[in-house]
Amino acid sequence: MPKYLFALNTILSLSVLIPFLTGLVKYKKLNYDLAYLVLICGFAFAVELVRVILLLGGERSFAPYNLFILGNFLFYSILFNRWGLFSSNQMIFQTILVLMILIWVFDMFIFNGFMFHQRPVIFRLIYSAVLSAFATGVINILITKSRDQLLKSPIFIVCCCVVVYFLVNIIIESFSLPKFSEGSIGYKIGKFGIRTYLNPIIYLVYTLVFLWAPTKKNFLQLS
């Protein structure tokens, strides 16, 4: 990769630092559940920083990202659970978490052998689909309970970002499947596609959510 492209990708990927710092500044004033999103941004920044350091040191391992996708799934799942998605049945929530962890282990260490330092696709596709479904479920609850106030709800805005991001992620990861050769248009779209530029847009929205969200419990809740 040319140096200028590496620099651009690095800057865009580390842009998650902006919502993280913004969230930290307003952390004590944010509603507890929205403040949890700050931790998600902090986790993403830490992983991106480790990835950049490894690349600068000549290490091209996918291990940080493979840990990230598992942690990202768990963090977002807990967030959606806090927002009431599984309020009536915690057993289903816990079962899904266990199954997803098992799928991650299967994809990283069993299905094609030891793939922890490479880029297996199965879990990436499944976790993207599951998180999209979770976010859609929360949106449906919001529509049912408070349709007139949706655009004023930080929860609704965050869920929309999650749906858009992970639906795009499904498309990108699909192009990484073996049927797409490295020279194919699909592969190039998947490798150099819009995700690099979508991330900063999502992070900008998160930043605005932290800046504009009413404090404490003065914003639309699910209960």
24-45 confidence digits (pLDDT tens): 998 888 876 788 899 999 999 9
- Domain residue limits, the chain: 3-212
Q: What pTM value is reported for the model? A: 0.88
| pLDDT tens column, 112-156 | 778 888 888 899 999 999 999 999 999 999 998 877 778 788 999
Q: Which H or E run includes 210?
A: helix 195-212
DSSP symbols for 130-166: HHHHHHHHHHHHHHHHHGGGGGG-HHHHHHHHHHHHH
**In this predicted model, what pLDDT tens digit does every residue of 139-150 receive, in sequence order?**
999 998 877 778
CA pair distance 206, 118, nearest whole angstrom: 30
pLDDT of residue 162 exceeding 90: yes
Residue 107's pLDDT is: 92
Helix, strand, coil percentages, rounded to 5, for the chain: 75, 0, 25
